[in-house]
Structure 1
């Protein structure tokens, strides 16, 4: 499905000081206004620049959703934009409240925990099945030796199992289990029993189907803070982004409480390069309510005196490939959902997938896997890859 574009120069006032400022900035990123290259921005309406200057990515994203501008390759537009660090040179005037809100309030309380499930993960299992791999894995794949999305996701799941040194009979806790792809894989290939925590009712219903096939996996519709059982291993894949800085320490305390003394804990999370930044306002409003990316220091601070960091692995560049594979599936299957979700949702989802791919391509955000132990492994941890 192609977006309608007009690309009229009349929508860009070259005499405006703000527009000249933005044009000069974009030139630093090799982006031209109303240019003809795939990553160039083309205006379809007035006030796009004013909205971006006033409200940052929230204004830019909403303008795109409203068909006010286009770029043939949004992923490359954001790659250019972020690689040149242009957002660092703009201070949106209307985002002060958003910044203070994320700093002063705990937006990830137990009471709020189910909001992201209802807003994002409960869109419908059919929708996600059309976009994701055959195992419904909604996190970064591992593309080291993979050529397809299915291969990359299975390689990621197996990598985690090997890092956790799983053995038959172990009980594993999956904090933020999604549709159970890790639990099913670990149970099938490593003979372990798994308990998964999720805040999505759709995911819980999907999990019941896995259990009907006789797999030793259990889905619990439950906030992580309420779990008290102890396990041989703990894994958390793509959930820490929903925890929030005011809860990082409590999250680690829960993991420490639920892990046996000789156990291992693998934490897989997206992360940001700079500590003192606010969550992206467009992502917060439209995609992941109350989400927040941690900086490296946030994680190590929260783990201090509770865990020993045995291993840290960054393969953030692989998320670029994963997101673009999801986008290809989304485009190929959109005709099935167009009547249900509509054009505005289409542009929102396209903006989400491709802007995030561009951010990972620019190395503006990262993907980390930590392996943690409670007391340190005698003789050291032997890394696998």
Structure 2
């Protein structure tokens, strides 16, 4: 099966002899297969792993990455492939730029996406620098996205397998980075990747995929935030949109916009959802589902890979949401129809078909006029 993967997947020319490819190796099956494909292409291949958090606390945790057993797995794969492998300690930078930011966003009543912050900061920025210092012709990763050569340079496209597509988390990839990056797995389904790993006898062939956020054990976000920022446990009122105090909460870190479960305000005539969080008063504002509807969202710190002003686009405002029709009007993303559960702190990523046009961070939202009229 591996013979069906050709060297020109790395788009460095038909003859890769004399070329050097740096592969970001997390210790999982995806990046390990990328390293294998690079090694078989004829180019000199170098694996790099960034240690991003305390490997001692993560060594026995399944579904983690960039620590403990994962580093050992990456080294074992590199040895199997006969390629050089280096580990760089970036724990302090990861803590400051990703973990601390994650905690601060929750305290501010926002819903963060640390995986994007990691990609746009520690991973891509630092890996780019290291790859260039090593004289690499490109940096290859195991992300499920496609790099397509367009009329005006490299373009970022969705993965061929919609279930594996990671383009939402890579919207902040700059044009300069995209020219240097390679994503050999973007056109493959995951079973194909695992089959290659098994064919090559890689120890990670059956290793489970990473789950949730790498530094959040068992999906318990609140415990991580509480450990970093003890003041996050400050309680307050749960307040209905009409002003009624319905109960008390033990910290806004336990809530996100659009949340329904865990409000502990039973006995209401209709189901209630978190509509917004007010960090100034420590209030959690709740209301009926229709109150979640918004007509627009203001976008900040945008990264554009194509011009989006004045054209119809499809916008994805949550990682698991379906893209919806919208249009950019200055800094405002205006939806063709009211959208629900749009949370400040999340990303909005824009598409034209499979082509990723760019994206930015949701700073604030504009309540639906239909809701205002009601």
Please, what TM-score do these two structures have when normalized by structure 1?
0.27
Higher RCO (CA 8 Å, separation ≥ 6 residues)? 1
Greater share of strand residues, 1 or 2? 2
Greater share of helix residues, 1 or 2? 1
